[in-house]
Chains A and B, each alone.
Chain A
Amino acid sequence: GEDVEQSLFLSVREGDSSVINCTYTDSSSTYLYWYKQEPGAGLQLLTYIFSNMDMKQDQRLTVLLNKKDKHLSLRIADTQTGDSAIYFCAEWMDSSYKLIFGSGTRLLVRP
């Protein structure tokens, strides 16, 4: 089946780390993505990870992938108020050439 799940909301204090979690169902997904969406805007690609990796770091972003548990996380170090947005996890379905998105996690960064 096709299902990607995320927690709905996360609140952190500015300067702390944020960890956004995601679970997916298709073990054959080759790539998993994180997108950011600010109010009224389209989706901005943040980072992605190939399924044969377990970690990828890109500046303040760290993606961890546990393929056995089908669990993906995005860690944002030194979270800033500008990081407040909705974060979507998505899995790429090789079989059907489409991205399946979670319902998004709203991150609120408190000053």
Chain B
Amino acid sequence: DTGVSQDPRHKITKRGQNVTFRCDPISEHNRLYWYRQTLGQGPEFLTYFQNEAQLEKSRLLSDRFSAERPKGSFSTLEIQRTEQGDSAMYLCASSRLSSGKETQYFGPGTRLLVL
């Protein structure tokens, strides 16, 4: 069990550019979540997958954001035409429902800075 990994750990981009982040969940976990965390706040839910199906998207996820999990393993989060307000830490978490309990394990995050 190597834990949840995210790549890259840091990304600096210019406004208007597209960026893509990757998340590799814990191998036996079938649920994968994306969160956004801004300074001084807790993580805010963006979207989640059960296997390859994207089951819910937050209102925070504008049409510039798209997430995929094509084979039910790793996931990507793409932000098109980035804006300065997109600067944040993007966290991925994975979980496996067991005995009715959902425990999410988080990756180290990708910190995005949009100039």
CB contact under 8 A between A35 and B41, given known A96-B56, A98-B33: no
Q: Of B4, B41, B48, which contacts A98 at CB under 8 A?
A: B48
- B residues near A, CB below 8 A? 4, 6, 31, 33, 40-45, 48, 55-56, 91, 93, 100-109, 111
CB contact under 8 A between A43 and B43, given known A48-B103, A92-B102: yes
Q: Which residue of B lies closest to A31 (CB)?
A: B101
- A residues near B, CB below 8 A? 4, 30-31, 33, 35, 40-45, 48, 50, 88, 90, 92, 96-104
CB contact under 8 A between A30 and B100, given known A42-B91, A96-B56, A101-B43: yes
Assembled-state Cα–Cα distance A43/B41 (Å): 13
Whether A99 lies near B45 (C-beta < 8 A) is yes
Q: List 10 A-B contacts (CB under 8 A).
A: A31-B102, A33-B103, A35-B106, A42-B106, A43-B93, A45-B104, A97-B55, A98-B33, A98-B45, A101-B44
Interface of A is mostly: strand
CB contact under 8 A between A97 and B56, given known A41-B109, A45-B103, A104-B41: yes
Whether A42 lies near B108 (C-beta < 8 A) is yes
Assembled-state Cα–Cα distance A42/B106 (Å): 6
Apart from A45-B103, A102-B42, A103-B40, what 20 extra A-B contacts exist at CB < 8 Å?
Answer: A4-B42, A30-B100, A33-B103, A41-B108, A41-B109, A42-B107, A43-B43, A44-B106, A48-B101, A97-B55, A97-B56, A98-B33, A98-B48, A99-B104, A101-B43, A101-B44, A103-B41, A103-B42, A104-B40, A104-B41
